[in-house]
Structure 1
């Protein structure tokens, strides 16, 4: 199992709309998350930065399976007007794990 985290960027002016859209994530997309091995997926917001955390069996395999999935393509298109590229042109920045505690 992999613990994956990354950050994305939005304009703070879009916070309300971003939050509202995520109150209505497509059920077919959430179903696909489970099918590709995503056990949990959380997104947190702070001043224009979105921090995402995912517990997933195999991140690269899950992303490969979702890349052309119709529900994911539809969702990505729906969200594309809000997500901003980072300075390097990428939409996400992976965050390496520094410490873990599990009981």
Structure 2
């Protein structure tokens, strides 16, 4: 199991809209997450920065499969007006793990 975290960003003025849209995530998108091996997916918000955490069987394979999945394509189009790309043009910036405690 891989544990992957990444950052996204939105305009803080869009906070309310971002949260409203996530109250109605497409069921077919969540089904796709399960199909590609995502077991947990959390997103946290702080002043325009979104911190996402994912427990996934294989992150690279899951992202590749989601790229062409109709539910994800629809969701990405729906969210595209809220996400602000990073300096490299990508919406997500994977960050490396610094510490983990497991009981």
Q: What interval of TM-score do these two structures reach, taking the shorter chain for normalisation?
A: over 0.9
Partner of 1:94: 94
How many positions carry a matched residue from both structures? Answer: 103
Partner of 1:26: 26
Partner of 1:72: 72
Partner Cα separation in structure 2 for residue 28 and residue 37 of structure 1? 14
Partner of 2:37: 37
Partner Cα separation in structure 1 for residue 85 and residue 25 of structure 2? 22
What's the offset of the Cα at 1:92?
1.2
Q: The residue matched to 2:13 in structure 1 has which SS?
A: helix
What's the offset of the Cα at 1:88?
2.5
Structure 2 gaps of 5+ residues are none
Cα-to-partner distance string for 1:24-52 (whole Å, 9 max, x where unaligned): 00000001101110000000000000000
